[in-house]
Amino acid sequence: MYLTRFFTLFAGLLIAGQAAADWHYDKQAIMGTEVHLQFWHEDEKTAQEINQAVMEEFRRIDRALSPYKPDSELSRVNRDGANGKALSISAELAEIIEKSLWYSDKTAGAFDITFATLGSLYDFREGQQADVETTEKLLPAVNYRHLKLNRSSRTLAFDDPRTKIDLGGIAKGYAVDRAVAILQHYGVENANVSAGGDARLLGDKRGKPWLVGIRHPRDKGKNAAVIPLENTAISTSGDYERFFIDDDQHRVHHIFNPATGKPTESDDRGDKTDRNKLISVSIIGPRGFDTDPLSTSVFVLGKQKGLALIEELPGFEAIVIDAGHRMFFSSGLQQ
Ligand code: ADP
Ligand code: MG
């Protein structure tokens, strides 16, 4: 994400200057992305402790929720779910699945963690995708209604043995909120923490707003916008982060339309002037646990339905870029 480059640049500038002695920075590769942390603290030793606690929390969440780690709770649930029995799950996993299901209802299924039934057959680095027959065969197993979550007994059952789940559209937003809770626990008042396209800002940048860049979806070196923000979360979903171009010149990317079981169609797949098709979506709101699933949702819903959803939710704003590279804002940002 562009955010990453922006903060790296800033980190460099500040370390070079004397006045930056009390800003602390770290960058680590976790959750399949770069986790960036910047915060203000007076005491060097405590700052190191805070830094470690935050990064350890990201690693803990990754160990629990990664689909690539065979020992993660998520992998276990996907394996054992096939037997149809109700599985005991952690309170944390139950909370994240409950939130995901809430967004599935709210978005008429545009956000659906069972996209993984087909999504897990894709490998964007290797240029691998599910073939047409497999897609048709497994499509009925892509449906959040197959998930039977019992919050009080903390169990989950899959009523289709082929259904798989993946929390890639919500886990990073959840993790940046957890990071901020740790920072607040230590009394930190100014911080910026991001995991790929999900960022959360605590307070301001000591007297000025944080400047968050939204990457141009088709020009890596460029910004589509730079937004001053404080005390908020911002999540961006784009079709330029993880993708490959297949033999038919189609852009195969990581955001799936659960209705088709395939990546949402983007501009390389036809009409560049389609005003409803989005290639970048940023959502601003109080918590990453909401802005992350919402950015994925609005991406899938398209401009019209996506912006209508954001207008309906108090406290959320959107910045979207359509297939023709035009930028649009929700009503609260239009002034
Ligand atoms: P990033 O992972 O780059 O932050 P997003 O927040 O846009 O990106 O989430 C994309 C991720 O969400 C995908 O990599 C995948 O794990 C998951 N995902 C893709 N499509 C859906 C969907 N329709 N509903 C829920 N999660 C999805
Ligand atoms: Mg998201």
Please write the tens of the pLDDT for every residue from 197-208. Answer: 999 999 999 999
Exposure string of 32-63, with b = 16+ CB inside 10 Å and e = fewer, is ebbbbbbbbbeeeeebeebbeebbebbeebbe
How far is ligand 2, taken at its centre, from the CA of residue 139, in Å?
Answer: 22
Q: Does the Cβ of 168 fall within 6 Å of ligand 1? A: yes
Contact 77, 50 (CB under 8 A): no
pTM of the model: 0.92
Taking the centre of ligand 1 as the mean of its atom positions, its distance from the CA of residue 328, in whole angstroms, is: 21
Structure tokens at 316: 């959320």
Instruction: Indicate which atom in ligand 1 lies nearest the CA of residue 238.
Output: 7
> Is the CB of 300 within 6 Å of ligand 1?
yes
21 pLDDT exceeds 70?
Answer: no
Q: Whose CA is nearest to atom 11 of ligand 1?
A: 169
Index of the ligand 1 atom closest to the CA of residue 166? 16
Q: Which ligand is nearest to the CA of 260?
A: 1
- In the predicted structure, residue 14 carries a pLDDT above the cut 60: no
Tell me which of 35, 36, 62, 115 to substitute to probe ligand 1's pocket, judged by most ligand atoms within 8 Å of the beta carbon: 115
User: Residues 191-246: pLDDT tens digits?
Assistant: 999 999 999 999 999 999 999 999 999 998 899 999 999 999 999 999 888 889 98
Average pLDDT (286-304) is 98
Q: With bands split at pLDDT 50, 70 and 90, how would you rate the model's confidence at 288?
A: very high
Distance from C-alpha of 86 to C-alpha of 24, rounded to nearest angstrom? 45
**Does 286 have pLDDT greater than 90?**
yes
What percentage of the chain has pLDDT greater than the value 90?
85
The C-alpha angle with vertex 19 and arms to 15 and 23, in degrees rounded to 5, equals: 55
CB 91: neighbour CB atoms within 10 A?
9
Whether residue 156 contacts residue 89, with contact meaning beta carbons closer than 8 Å, is answered with yes
- H or E element, residue 158: strand 155-158
pLDDT at 19 over 50: no
- Inform me whether the pLDDT recorded for 64 exceeds 50: yes
Cα 15 to ligand 2 centre (Å) = 31
What is d(CA 198, CA 285) in angstroms, rounded to the nearest whole number?
11
Going by alpha carbons, the residue nearest to atom 9 of ligand 1 is 169
Helices (H), the chain: 2-16, 44-65, 73-80, 91-106, 116-119, 132-138, 171-185, 288-301, 303-312
C-alpha distances out from residue 131 to 24, 127, 284, Å: 47, 12, 36
DSSP helix/strand/coil, 113: helix
Measured in Å, residue 237 CA sits from the centre of ligand 2 at: 6
Contact 169, 258 (CB under 8 A): no
- The values of phi and psi at residue 293, to 5°, are -60, -30
Q: From the CA of 202, how far away is ligand 1's center (Å)?
A: 24
Ligand 1 pocket, residue 198 CB under 6 Å: yes
111 lines ligand 1 (CB under 6 A): yes
Q: State the ligand closest to the CA atom of 101.
A: 1
- Ligand 1 proximity of 172 Cβ (cutoff 6 Å): yes
The per-residue pLDDT for 240 is: 84
Considering every ligand atom shown, identify the ligand nearest to the alpha carbon of residue 103 and give its number.
1
- Cβ atoms of 144 and 94 closer than 8 Å: no
- Indicate which residue's Cα is closest to atom 15 of ligand 1: 168
Ligand 1: nearest atom to the Cα of 100:
25
User: From the CB of 239, is ligand 1 less than 6 Å away?
Assistant: no
* 255 ligand 1 Cβ < 6 A: yes
Residue closest via CA to ligand 1's atom 8 equals: 237
Mean pLDDT of the chain: 92
Q: For residues 199 and 234, give the distance between their C-alpha atoms in angstroms, rounded to a whole number.
A: 5
